[in-house]
A and B are shown apart, each in its own frame.
Chain A
Amino acid sequence: MGCCYSSEDKPTEEEEEPLIQPNNIVSKSPNGTERNPPNVPTARTDEQALLTSILTKTAQNIIDVSAADQPMMEPHEYMDRARQYSTKLAVLGSSLPPKKALTLPSLTSQPHQVLSSDLVPYSDVQQGFFRLPCTFLFK
């Protein structure tokens, strides 16, 4: 049995010739031209060089945090840097506008005593003050 249009005739030389020639490794240079003929040691060297360049580029681009070498700071360096930052903060803090006071100043530590003490005498309200519908007194 054979494929379509096969015959029982002997195969011709052409038919027996393999499609891929075992020694015909076609290696192209980067610019697309075909080398002629390819030299195996040169190909391997080129491949090695290419791999090396890829490795080098990757190593340059990758940041390996775990392998980062943490520089150890001396205690006096810590202190110097802390002092530097404090000075900068102090300078910046003084140049900023003061924050609006949100908390009221405390007037007394005895609120119950102050609020339960005698009210302003009626005579004081009557005398020396304008008769307004509402009078404000500070004591």
Chain B
Amino acid sequence: MTTAALTAGLERIPDQLGYLVISSEDGVLASAGELENDEHTAGVMMQMVRTASRFRLSGSPDVPFKRLSVILDDFVYTVTVSGHKVFVVKRQHNQQEPVNV
């Protein structure tokens, strides 16, 4: 898959503030928005997802989750792995409780 094909879908994610596409061998393949050229965040996210990927539920060989969310006050980093590439998207985090009408 070309880099453009990888990033095209990320651009359309609602309320996204930036993204990273990282390869464990080649480093940052693509970056944009608030995460553009942010190799430090890329390194941290890689370590986080690598550690989290070691987690297993008892008796299961598969990784038990699809997405890792790092929730901070104002924004959320959502991370997943697909085809030996790590995708990180920074999204706006609305902490307001929904208004019940």
Contacts and interface: CB of A to CB of B under 8 A. Distances in A.
Interface of A: 102-112, 114-117, 119-120, 122-123, 125, 133-139
29 contacts: A102-B25, A103-B84, A104-B24, A104-B81, A107-B66, A107-B81, A108-B66, A108-B80, A108-B82, A109-B82, A109-B83, A110-B82, A111-B9, A115-B13, A115-B67, A115-B78, A115-B87, A116-B12, A116-B89, A117-B67, A120-B69, A122-B94, A122-B97, A122-B98, A134-B70, A136-B68, A136-B69, A138-B55, A139-B65
Contact of A135 (B71, B80, B87, B97): B71
A136 to B, nearest CB: 6
Given A106-B82, A136-B68, A138-B65, A115 B24 contact: no
B13 to A, nearest CB: 4
A134 B44 CA distance: 14
B29 to A, nearest CB: 13
A117 B72 CA distance: 18
Nearest to A112: B9
A135 B95 CA distance: 13
B82 A111 contact: yes
Nearest first, the 4 closest Cβ-Cβ pairs linking A and B are A112-B9, A138-B65, A111-B82, A116-B13
Contacts of A103: 24, 84
Given A106-B81, A108-B82, A137 B69 contact: yes
Interface in B12-69: 12-14, 24-25, 48-50, 52-53, 55, 62-69
Contacts of B81: 104-108, 111
B50 A115 contact: no
A102 B48 CA distance: 14
Given A104-B24, A107-B82, A116-B12, A125 B66 contact: no
A134 B82 contact: no
B83 A106 contact: yes
Contacts of A102: 24-25
B80 A119 contact: no
B41 to A, nearest CB: 13
